């Protein structure tokens, strides 16, 4: 099967700034792929190259197996939604959504039917005659989505479309976007710097750092098997315990450090590494059985559980999560333990 879209060594240079290093990316038909990464990592640049809004400095773009590197933006069959809704302020909701269809010279009854469907899809049927300024931010964003979806592009690019919304509305719109993706069966490439949003929405996440792809995989891949310290810290919270990984004569592996010697999963490679322990993987235990020991410095109520910080003598305290019944008190000396087979090891 050919990918819906793929790039070969695509790159962008602005004078001395590398906005995008040569990048190979394959996006499957109907996939929901998220570009995730910190500010300035090249997400928008990659999206705009795919859209045809930015000309790459090198490399090639293929859509459905055909080269489209120099194809005009309007001829790529790609829809785009931006962070700011960019609705036409003087046109009603109905006219805003009809606009791309009028541009495509669709006949009037077909336009009326398509606009009605698109409005229903985003549950805004009652607002057809309002002007954008008479809508809330979330409602305007839904109209912007309807205006993109109305002409049924088979590839839809969304650049931080929920960036301007508050948390509650973001979560609501996330589930709307998930539903729309299922209904349309289109390929979505979605940009965000919010890792929770990426985990919630995506079939795969393309984590970007410093103008290149840091790691590409399913949300579970990135969470359970981070490929680098950067991945481990960007997706969820990680306790990183540095040291030298050593293979023992019995085939096991250990992490050696001035302050501790810890078991590693048996397939860990030797060298300078960091052990990644997620807060929910660690549990309190009696100091005699502990991998690490320390005094509790902070206990913070987090709704369903407590976030507990333990001073383990390093630069950063160790974070774990404790149920409401077994949370320790500040000042308690506690032991920490986890299942070494479940933890990840990254090279540093
Ligand atoms: N037109 C331009 N001229 C010069 N440099 C640019 C231009 N557009 C982007 N850059 C630079 O390229 C790099 C990548 O920018 P890009 O907009 O792709 O980042 P991003 O990952 O989308 O960030 P954000 O999360 O802040 O939107 C940045 O260092 C940026 O300053
Ligand atoms: Mg951007």
In percent, the amount of the chain with pLDDT more than 70 equals: 98
Phi, psi of 189, deg, nearest 5: -120, 120
Tell me: the pLDDT tens digits for 241-290?
999 999 989 989 999 999 999 999 988 889 999 999 999 999 999 988 99
Does 319 map to a domain?
A: yes
If asked whether residues 148 and 291 sit together in one domain, one would say no
**What one-character-per-residue DSSP string does 188-256 give?**
EEEEES-HHHHHHH-SEEEEEETTEEEEEE-HHHHHHS-SSHHHHHHSS--EEEEEEEEE-TTS-EEEE
For ligand 1, atom 4, name the residue with the nearest CA: 14
Neighbours of ion ligand 2 (CB under 5 A): 44
pLDDT at 164 over 80: no
CATH of the domain at 270: 2.40.50.100
If asked whether residues 165 and 259 sit together in one domain, one would say no
CATH of the domain at 216: 3.40.50.300
Ligand nearest to the CA of 46: 1
If asked whether residues 147 and 295 sit together in one domain, one would say no
Compute how many other C-beta atoms are within 10 angstroms of the C-beta atom of residue 326.
11
In percent, the amount of the chain with pLDDT more than 90 equals: 77
Structure tokens at 337: 């333990």
If asked whether residues 203 and 333 sit together in one domain, one would say no
Q: What is the pLDDT of residue 85?
A: 67
If asked whether residues 80 and 200 sit together in one domain, one would say yes
- Measured CA to CA, the distance from residue 211 to residue 35 in angstroms comes to 12
Spacing, Cα 161 to ligand 2 middle (Å): 11
- Measured CA to CA, the distance from residue 198 to residue 224 in angstroms comes to 15
Q: What is the pLDDT of residue 215?
A: 97
Q: What is the pLDDT of residue 338?
A: 97
Does 229 map to a domain?
A: no
Does 218 map to a domain?
A: yes
Judged by phi (left if over 0) then psi (alpha if -120 to 50, else beta), residue 41 lies in: alpha
Does 232 map to a domain?
A: no
If asked whether residues 154 and 244 sit together in one domain, one would say no
Looking at 224, 253, 281, which one is the last position of a domain? 224
If asked whether residues 186 and 159 sit together in one domain, one would say yes
Report the domain count for the chain: 2
Q: Name the residue with higher pLDDT: 77 or 202.
A: 202
The residues pairing with 206 across neighbouring beta strands, listed in sequence order, are 35, 216
If asked whether residues 262 and 215 sit together in one domain, one would say no
Q: Name the residue with higher pLDDT: 153 or 23.
A: 23
If asked whether residues 96 and 147 sit together in one domain, one would say yes
Range of the domain at 170: 5-224
Q: What is the pLDDT of residue 234?
A: 94
For ligand 1, atom 27, name the residue with the nearest CA: 39
If asked whether residues 154 and 213 sit together in one domain, one would say yes
**Lowest mean pLDDT, pick from 51-60, 174-183, 277-286:** 174-183
Ligand nearest to the CA of 36: 1
Q: What is the pLDDT of residue 1?
A: 56
Does 253 map to a domain?
A: yes
If asked whether residues 197 and 244 sit together in one domain, one would say no
Residue to substitute in 20, 40, 47 for testing ligand 1 pocket (most ligand atoms within 8 angstroms of CB): 40
């Amino acid at each position: 099967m050919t990918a819906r879209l793929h790039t070969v060594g695509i790159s962008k240079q602005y004078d001395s700034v590398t906005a995008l290093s040569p990048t190979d990316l394959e996006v499957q038909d109907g996939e929901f792929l998220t570009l995730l990464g910190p500010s300035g990592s090249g997400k928008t640049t990659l999206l705009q190259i795919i859209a045809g809004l930015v000309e790459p400095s090198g490399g090639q773009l293929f859509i459905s197996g055909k080269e489209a590197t120099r194809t005009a933006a309007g001829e790529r069959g790609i829809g785009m939604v931006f962070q700011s809704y960019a609705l036409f302020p003087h046109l009603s909701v109905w006219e805003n959504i009809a606009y791309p269809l009028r541009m495509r010279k669709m006949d009037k009854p077909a336009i009326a039917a398509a606009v009605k469907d698109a409005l229903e899809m985003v549950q805004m049927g009652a607002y057809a005659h309002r002007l954008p300024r008479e809508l809330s931010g979330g409602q305007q964003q839904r109209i912007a989505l309807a205006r993109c979806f109305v002409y049924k592009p088979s590839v839809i690019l969304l650049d931080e479309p929920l960036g301007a919304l508050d948390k509650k509305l973001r979560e609501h719109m996330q589930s709307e976007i998930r539903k729309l993706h299922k209904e349309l069966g289109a390929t979505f490439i979605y940009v965000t710097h919010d890792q929770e949003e990426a985990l919630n929405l995506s079939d795969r996440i393309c984590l970007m750092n410093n103008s290149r792809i840091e790691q590409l995989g399913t949300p579970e891949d990135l969470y359970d098997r981070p490929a680098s310290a950067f991945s481990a810290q960007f997706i969820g919270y990680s306790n990183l315990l540095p040291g030298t990984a050593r293979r023992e004569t019995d085939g096991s592996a250990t992490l050696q450090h001035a302050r501790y010697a810890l078991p590693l999963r048996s397939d860990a490679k030797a060298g300078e590494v960091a052990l990644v322990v997620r807060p929910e993987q660690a549990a309190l235990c009696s100091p005699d059985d502990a991998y690490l020991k320390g005094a509790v410095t902070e206990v913070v109520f987090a709704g369903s559980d407590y976030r507990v910080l333990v001073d383990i003598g390093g630069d950063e305290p160790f974070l774990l999560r404790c149920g409401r019944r077994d949370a320790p008190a500040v000042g308690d000396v506690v032991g920490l333990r986890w299942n070494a087979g479940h933890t990840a090891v990254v090279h540093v």
